[in-house]
Amino acid sequence: MIDYLDKAARLIRESGYTVAFTGAGISVESGIPPFRGRSGLWSRYDPKVLDLDYFYSNPHDSWVKIKEIFYDFFGKAQPNPGHIALAGLEQKGWLKSLITQNIDNLHQEAGSQTVWEFHGNSQWVVCPRCGARHFATEIDMSELPPRCHEDGSVLKPDFIFFGEGIPREAYDQSFAAARKAEVMLVIGTTGEVMPASMVPYEAARSGATIIEINPETTPFTNQITHIFLEGKAGEVLPELLARVRQLPVD
C-alpha cells in the first residue's frame, strides 16, 4: 500500500524549489467560510457586492455587506496549524514561496515571509482618487461608506473585486514561481476563478509535481494532480511537515 503522505514528503525534501498555492479552504479551520459550496459565502451573499462596477454605483449597499463579511468577521480569525505548517516548511528552506488567493493576512500572521497576494489584502483600504492608504482598523466604519479625509471619495478595500486587474507584482512573481517550481502544493481551492486558477496549470506545464490537499476533489484533481491528499489542511499539513522533518538528512 503506497503511503502517499510519505511519498509527498520525499518529493518536497528532494525538491530544489517547492511553491504553495492556497485558497479559502486553508482558512476554513480558522472560522472563515469558503466562498463556494453549501456553507460558502456565495450561498448567503450575492457575489455582486464584490463586483467593481456595482461597488462604485452602490457604495453604501456594498459596504454594508463588505463590512459584515470581511471586517466584522475576518478580523477575529487566527492562523491555524495549516498556516503554521507552511511557515515551518519555509523556515526550513523546504518551501520557497507561497501564492495565495486569500485576503485574510493569516499566512503572514503565521510567520510566512514570501507571500504573493494574488487578490490583495483586506487589512488596507485605499482612496481610488488620491491613492491614500489606511489601515482598515483605523477607519471609522460606523457610517458607511467610509470616505477619504482628503477628497471625500468612497474608500475601497485593498483587495481585488470581480472585474478588477490583478496587482502587477503579485501576478508576475506568482507565474515566475510557478515556472520554477519542481513541486507545487495546491491547497484548499476549487480553481474556479481566473486568472489565479491558471497558476497550478502553469506549474504543471513547466514540469512541476502537483500535490493537492483538499477534503474534496476539484477540477485540478483529474487534470494535473499527481498526489491527492484527501483531508483538511489543518490536519494534513502538520503531518506532512512532521514527515519531511523525520526523513534522514542526505
Fill in the DSSP letter of residue 44: T
Pick from 191, 185, 180, 241: nearest CA to 211:
185
Peptide bond into 195 cis (omega under 30): yes
Q: Could you tell me the smallest distance in angstroms from the CB atom of residue 118 to ligand APR?
A: 8
Peptide bond into 34 cis (omega under 30): no
- Using CB under 6 A, list all residues that contact ligand APR: 23-26, 28-29, 34-36, 40, 101, 119, 188-190, 192-193, 213-216, 218, 232-234
Which of 107, 119, 134, 149 is catalytic? The answer is: 119
148 or 175: whose CB is closer to ligand APR?
175
Buried b (16+ CB within 10 A) or exposed e, 158-188: bbbbeebebbeebbebbbebbeebbbbbbbb
83 or 148: whose CB is closer to ligand APR?
83
Q: Could you tell me the smallest distance in angstroms from the CB atom of residue 15 to ligand APR?
A: 21
* Known catalytic residue at 119: yes
83 or 96: whose CB is closer to ligand APR?
83
10 or 36: whose CB is closer to ligand APR?
36
The answer to whether 126 and 156 are in contact (CB under 8 A) is: yes
Q: Could you tell me the smallest distance in angstroms from the CB atom of residue 6 to ligand APR?
A: 20
Q: Could you tell me the smallest distance in angstroms from the CB atom of residue 153 to ligand APR?
A: 24
Give CA–CA dist 96/175, Å, rounded: 14
Catalytic site residues?
119
